Amino acid sequence: MAGTIHISDSLVWSAGTIAFETIADVTRGRFTDSERDSVPEVYAPLDQGFGFIAIDELNLNAYRLFCRRCDEAYQECVERNNCPNVPQEFYEGVMECWREFLDLMSKDDRFDSQQFP
């Protein structure tokens, strides 16, 4: 099994189940209740049992918010040297996939490089 994140018509990221579910779930956990209201469509396919999420239709502000929350979740896992529900033997692979996903999101026109050091 694998999971996919649709970034735009021309940018699609796919990874194995562990990496996909970790990135989707840990990033989702970073949103506040009020922020979740601005990105409800992102997780709708996942909530319906499909193996993908979609950020392709997010407006500029929502896309940038998703990028920030995804990066924060990544940084938290790096600082702790583990991720929730990821066996240690898969940690490095998941983090490599996550870094690839972050890099791919930066190629979208909605990305703001100034929000990331």
Residue of 10 and 113 predicted with greater confidence:
10
The DSSP string of 26-72 is HHHTTS-HHHHTTSHHHHHHHHTT-SEEE-TT--HHHHHHHHHHHHH
Whole-number pLDDT of residue 39: 85
Q: How far apart are the first and last CA of the chain?
A: 34
Express each pLDDT in 47-71 by its tens digit.
999 999 999 999 999 999 999 999 9
Euclidean distance between CA atoms 116 and 68, whole angstroms: 8
C-alpha dihedral sign at 78, 24, 55, 99: positive
| Radius of gyration for the alpha carbons in the chain, expressed in angstroms and rounded | 13
- Which of left, alpha, beta for 35 (phi over 0: left; psi -120 to 50: alpha)? alpha
Express each pLDDT in 82-115 by its tens digit.
998 899 999 999 999 999 999 999 999 999 888 7
Domain map of the chain by residue range?
2-115
pTM for the whole thing?
Answer: 0.92
Whole-number pLDDT of residue 107: 95
